[in-house]
Structure formats: C-alpha cells, structure tokens
Structure 1
Amino acid sequence: MAPSPQSVSPGAFAVAVVGAGAAGLGAALALARDGVPTALVGRHAPVADGRTVALLDGSVRFLRALGAWDGIAPHASPLAELHIVDDTGSLFRPPPARFVATEIGLEAFGWNVESARLVESLRAQARATPNLTLFESDATGSRVGAETVDLTLADGTGLSARLAVGADGARSKLRQAAGLVPREWSYPQAAVTTILAHARPHRDISTEFHTREGPFTLVPLPGGRRSSLVWVMGEARAQTVAALDDAALARAVETRAHAMLGTMRIDGPRGLVPMRGLALPSPVAARLALIGEAAHVFPPIGAQGLNLGLRDAAALRDAVLEAVADGRDPGSRAALAGFARGRSRDARLRTLAVDTLNRSLLTDVLPVDALRGLGLLAMTTIAPLRRIVMREGVVPRLGAPSLMR
C-alpha cells in the first residue's frame, strides 16, 4: 500500500481516468487499490463484434494483482502453444513453427477471453472498489489550470483532478484538446472477426497462418471446441466475406484453415475491423497522460494492442505512486517524464514489429520472403533464441511495471 496521496477537495480527485474500456478500467483500478482518489469517466458500452483478446502472462499478473482475474478466468481459455504456418506459397517457406509455454516455465503464454466479457468483469470490479468514483457519462470538455485539470461531462457534471488520463480511444478528445498530433496510417486490409464452434478440439493451441493477404488466426476459447477468428485480408474482399451468411462464412473459414479443426459453425457475433496504425512522439502533455488506443493503435495482429494498453496502465500507476510517495504533484511533467520515456520506447518497438510482419506478408519480393522464412526457421531451430523471443513476447523484462513482474 502506498503512502496516502495529497489531499483533494470535495468534488476533486488526484486522478481522473477518461474512457471506460479495458485500459481505462485497468488504470483506474490500479490507482484506486493503492489509495489514490480516482474518478472513472465514461459510459459502459461494449460492442458485440466477435472480438477477443489474448491476455498475455504479464497482463494476467496485472489483473490478478487488481483482484479482477478470478471473475475473468472462468471465461478464458489458456494458450498453451502457438503454431505458425507459412501459407504464402513462398519459395522460401519454412516448416511450421511450434512454440510451447512450458519451455519458458509458464502454464500458458496467456488466456483468450471475449472482449465484451473482459470489460464487463472489470466494470463490476470497479463498482466495488474503494477510492474509485464512477461517472457514467462522456467527457465533453477539459481545461488545464496551474494545479488541476477541469473536466465537463455530457450530463453537466464538473470535476477536477491533478492528472487526467486519456483512455478515450483512437479518436481521443483529450489528445486533441491538448494539441497532440498523432502520426496515422492505414493498410489496404481489414480483419473479419467472429466466434466459431468446430468439430475437433483445439487442445489449447493458437494457430496463425501467414498468407499473402495477412495473418489468419484461430485462438482457443473455453470448452475445447470453440475458437475466435481474426482473418486479415484485402479490404474489398473482407467486406464481401463479412457479408456472407453464417453457413457460407463457416465453409470459407474451414477451407482457409485446411479443415484442421473439422467442420465449422458460426457461434457468435461478427465484426469488420479496419487495419490502421497510430503513434505519438510522447503520450504526455500538460496534466495529461495518454494510454491505450489514445496513445497507439495496432492492427489486430500478435495480441499486442490491449496488452500494451494494460502495460501503459500499470506503468502509470507506478509513476503516480512514486510521485505521491515523494510528496510531488502526480500531474507534473517531472512526475510523468519516466512514464513518457518508457511507454514511448515500448510502443515504438511493438509498432515496428507488427508493421514489419504485416508488410512483409503483403510483398512477394524474394529477399523479403527469404528473410522472413529464415527468421522463423531460426526461432524454430535455435532454442536459446526461441526462448528469448517467447519471453519478450509475453512480457518485456526491460522496464516491466511492478504489478507485471
């Protein structure tokens, strides 16, 4: 338990988190559990689009520390193995790669759970957490003063805090109000997402086919015979596939998966996700820290997006508690400097990795194919390299937030 934060006046908070998605909820819970008077601003509006999130081991550690994991675990499936299959037709196609969590001392690399279920569980935890006040209304305005940031909500409520946390998504109003201009880009692709039931058991194995249109990924869900789908393809084709009826879509998925899980059936809602990216030079402005998709956006590849957002939340908690313990203003530039450096470095590395993989699949240039194939072959055959890559993918050791270690 951290030392008590600086006192706040009635109606004021040490921190106001704007955005009620998983990253915002994680940040609010992490701060409140250590005695920081925190406001969580935003409506609870999960979207049923068939999307799931693979919570990697570091994220599970974080959620367990928050006391939230017990409510999530019954709805999550372990990812004990990851299989990568080069299905590009390249001349340099390596054999399928197999990564096993027990090789690095873990029961699973992570756990896959439906996104809406995750948010609902975190929201229930937030309602029962001391030091956390929920305002179920959107923020419509903000004004930064010398010592506080003042927020105006859609229902007319006003509140102030020493620090505002922007967890309000890729079109963040707080980021825009602060004058932070992101670098944005898009890919000529979209991802079809849904939930599948299948005849054969998945055996807790996540399988990723690398195709010329992008990754096609099947990720286990509880029950042994259900999986989530993320199928990346050309944008026009994705729109066509997403419009298929359930039976036709199930047949298309079964064919693309080479029938590895047998007969398929659509067993949940579906979504069509644009492939785009967003990055910032720094996630910090005057009395503002940005986390999650307000600070960085990834294509749905490699389970990086939300896991990075939860690392943002855990790292912000460390920065605020350190400032409080030292009697410093948690909203000051000095208090947020270390957070800004660490999160910028982590986001840059993940952006580079995801962007490089995706673009390498879209080209049939032989040298690129050869490098990609050799890299996958090296990870398959060189055990020390494979273990390093697996550990780094699960939770980065350099600068890992305390609740993820």
Structure 2
Amino acid sequence: MTESTYNIAVVGAGAVGLSAALAFARDGFKTVLVGGLDTRRDGRTVALLNGSVRFLEALGAWPSIVREAAPLETMRIVDDTGSLFRPPPASFQAGEIGLDAFGWNIENTALVEKLAEAAQACVNLTHVPEFATGFEASDTGASLTLAGGGTVRASLVVAADGRNSKLRQIAGIGTRTWSYPQSAVTVTLAHDRGHRETSTEFHTRHGPFTLVPLPGRRSSLVWVTSKAEAERLSQLDEAALAAAIERQAQSHLGVMRVDGPRGLVPMTGLSVNRYWARRVALVGEAAHVFPPIGAQGLNLGFRDVASLRDAVVDGQNEGHEPGSEETLTRYQSSRDLDVRLRTAAVDGLNRTLLAGMLPTDFLRGAGLLALSNIGPLRRVVMREGVLPRVGAPRLMQGPSTG
C-alpha cells in the first residue's frame, strides 16, 4: 500500500473537478486529482456564460476550448404555449451590454478533453485515475482510500464526484431532492440554414424547447416535455426524430438531421443543507443539481470552484490551512444565497410553464413584454444573467475575450 500527501485532493475528473485541480495547482498548491476521465459522447452540450469564460481564461485553458465552441450572440425567446397572453418573440443582443457573445456552446466531451489536456501539462498537479472508496477526516488532515489500495492524504478534499457523491454521503451532509413530471431529450443536429449565432428557446406548455448553436450549421437541442412524450421521442428512428424536431422548431433552421448521439435526461433537482463538512467541500453536482434549463448547472459549478479557491487563498493569507473550519465557513457564506436564488429562478420558470393558469400566463407574458420594450430593465437582467457582479469570485472578474 502506498501513501502520498498533498495540500488539496480533488475527487471527480469531470469538468468541475478538472477545473478545481487546475485552479489550485496554478496557485501553487500541491494538488492531486482522483478519478477516471469519461469522454463518451452523449449528445449533451454546455453554454459557458461570460463568467465561466473569464474563469477558464484565468486557468489558461480557454484558447484551446474556444476553438471547439460556438458564440451565442443573440438569445431569442418564443412563447409557444398557446396562452391568451402570448407576447411577440423577444430577442436579446450581447452587444447591448458590451459583449461579443453571452457565452459559448461546446460539447461536454470536448470541454472535458481540453481541460484534461491542460491538467496534464500543469505543474503541481498529479492525476490518479482511480476511484476513491473511503474518506476519513481528523484534526491533522483528511485521508482518502483508493480502489487500488493506496491512500491519499490532504489538508482539504474537494468533492466533485457528482449528484450521487460518495464523499457527501460519507461526510453525512443532508440533501433535499425533487422531481418534475418531465424529461429532456438531448441531441446534436445538423440543419440547412445557418443559426446566425442565435440561441432560440420556445416556451411550450410542457417545458422549454431550446436550440443552441454549435460550430458550422449545427445546433444542440434540449427538448423538455412530458415523460411519456420524451420516452416516445427517444424511441423514434433518426429521420422521424429529426422531422418531429423540425416541426416543433417551426422550420426556422430548415431541414434537420440527427448528427450525434441522443440522451434522455430526467428532470430532477438536488440541494444540500451545507456545502462542507470536516475537511471536505462540495462543488458542482455534489452540491446542487439543476434540470437542464437556463444553462445554470455547470456555470454554477465553476462559480463554486472559483469561490472555494478564493476562500482557500484568503484563508492562507490569514494563516489558515486549506481544510480549516475558518476557510470552509468562508466558502459556505459565498455560495448559499447565490445557489438558492438561481435554484428558485430555474424552478419558477419551469413551474410557470406547467401551471397553465391565466394569472400565471399573464404575469409571464407581461414580464417578457417588459424585457422586450424597456431597455434599461432588459440590460440589467442580461447583465445579471451572464455577468453577475455581487459576490463574483475574483477569477471571474478579469477581462474577457467576449
């Protein structure tokens, strides 16, 4: 049995875990990343909002990532609920708030591959491609037991091991879970017409139907609908599925073809009663799970990492080690309100679409109409969506490529 000692151990080698390992290693902490890479294509993409772009720039990973991504210059919302109070389509331009793009859309697997390349080239960072099977914390540090029999010791363990986090369970951190009467069909599409760097979201009575640009004449789709309909769609052959998508999209991108694997994602949510326990901090889906609406999940995971990095650096400057209670309490205070507000926003949008009640339809329609016609209000909302200032971690405050 071998034993190695580090300042920080990150468990989970997805995009959030890789970014955490990079962030700490680049700050000079002796860091180990524990976990195997999963680069199987599953038809899912992520829209990296401007704060996440700044974060990835700070990590030195953005130049290779942007080559695989498509900019989101315009966001278009179409009310397709059939409501009596249906407003006209609304479009929002990134240029209105001084950006070239609200964000960039990239396939999940491509993002993980590029972050893994950056991690491989990073000094102070060791990758151990094994599962962590055990965790213990003490006054002097934390100990991880590996599947191969080895042991990793660190002052702080970062749990980036996903929604079914083993570390969260071992640490005894409580969770609240919920679900919706929906599922999401995800797939990559090719189409005849150019998307013009425009993300189009149709609000339907069963949930959002969102087409997001990819490089070339390609887009990613997240189609939220009833569980039964999502199951039916997922069983269609490629030609029939493409035809159904084209009809729902009102043919605005022309003829469509399936251009990659498809996925069927349950609409669920998860929150935790705290973001840390002794010697361990939760980030990403170990701390919060969102349905695939509003591009919040991974972007919030990157905010977790950047906030934890600030707490560790500030704690060190005050003489505290990375896994100290003072450092982890600071991390907790930086995340609680931010995550709760965004959880409520995503949940509220989805539930108003499902409600089907005239007062709710009126309020949603009036709100969208106000955003379309009141310039200052529209710009404030857009900035908060992609450039949140209050409580923004330092690595998300730097200059952006836009």
Q: TM-score range by the shorter chain?
A: over 0.9
* Matched residue, 1:334: 326
Deviation at 1:331? 0.7
In structure 2, distance between residues paired with 1:396 and 1:281: 24
In structure 2, distance between residues paired with 1:228 and 1:401: 29
* Matched residue, 2:316: 324
Supply the AA of the counterpart residue of 1:314.
A
In structure 1, distance between residues paired with 2:4 and 2:259: 46
Q: Does 1:238 align with 2:208?
A: no
Aligned-pair RMSD on alpha carbons?
0.9
Q: Is the 8 A contact 2:143 2:153 kept in 1?
A: yes
Q: Is the 8 A contact 2:174 2:274 kept in 1?
A: no
In structure 2, distance between residues paired with 1:29 and 1:286: 23
Deviation at 1:48? 1.6
* Matched residue, 2:137: 144
**Which segments of 5 or more consecutive residues in structure 2 lack a partner in the other structure?**
398-402
SS of residue matched to 2:168: helix
Superposition pairs of residues 205-220 of structure 1, within 5 angstroms: 205-220=198-213
SS of residue matched to 1:75: coil
Q: Does 1:200 align with 2:193?
A: yes
Q: Is the 8 A contact 1:85 1:97 kept in 2?
A: yes
In structure 1, distance between residues paired with 2:273 and 2:107: 31
In structure 2, distance between residues paired with 1:344 and 1:91: 38
Supply the AA of the counterpart residue of 2:45.
T
Superposed CA deviations along residues 256-279 of structure 1, whole A, max 9, x for unmatched, are: 000000000001111001100001
* Matched residue, 1:69: 62
Superposition pairs of residues 262-301 of structure 1, within 5 angstroms: 262-301=254-293
Superposition pairs of residues 347-386 of structure 1, within 5 angstroms: 347-386=339-378
Aligned partner of 1:114 among 103, 107, 117: 107
Deviation at 1:338? 2.0
User: How many residues in Structure 1 have an aligned counterpart in Structure 2?
Assistant: 395
Superposition pairs of residues 173-184 of structure 1, within 5 angstroms: 173-184=166-177
SS of residue matched to 2:139: coil
Deviation at 1:323? 1.5
Superposed CA deviations along residues 354-383 of structure 1, whole A, max 9, x for unmatched, are: 000001101111111111111111111111
Deviation at 1:47? 3.4
Q: Does 1:252 align with 2:244?
A: yes
* Matched residue, 1:3: none
Superposed CA deviations along residues 208-260 of structure 1, whole A, max 9, x for unmatched, are: 0000110000000001x100000000011101101111000000000000000
Percent identity over the alignment is 62
Deviation at 1:290? 0.2
Deviation at 1:282? 1.7
Supply the AA of the counterpart residue of 1:143.
E
Q: TM-score, normalised by structure 1?
A: 0.96
In structure 2, distance between residues paired with 1:147 and 1:47: 39
Q: Is the 8 A contact 1:48 1:270 kept in 2?
A: no
* Matched residue, 1:104: 97
In structure 1, distance between residues paired with 2:387 and 2:16: 16
In structure 2, distance between residues paired with 1:34 and 1:329: 14
In structure 2, distance between residues paired with 1:11 and 1:343: 31
In structure 2, distance between residues paired with 1:322 and 1:85: 45
SS of residue matched to 1:45: coil
In structure 1, distance between residues paired with 2:145 and 2:125: 18
SS of residue matched to 2:268: strand
Q: Is the 8 A contact 2:155 2:321 kept in 1?
A: yes
Q: TM-score, normalised by structure 2?
A: 0.97
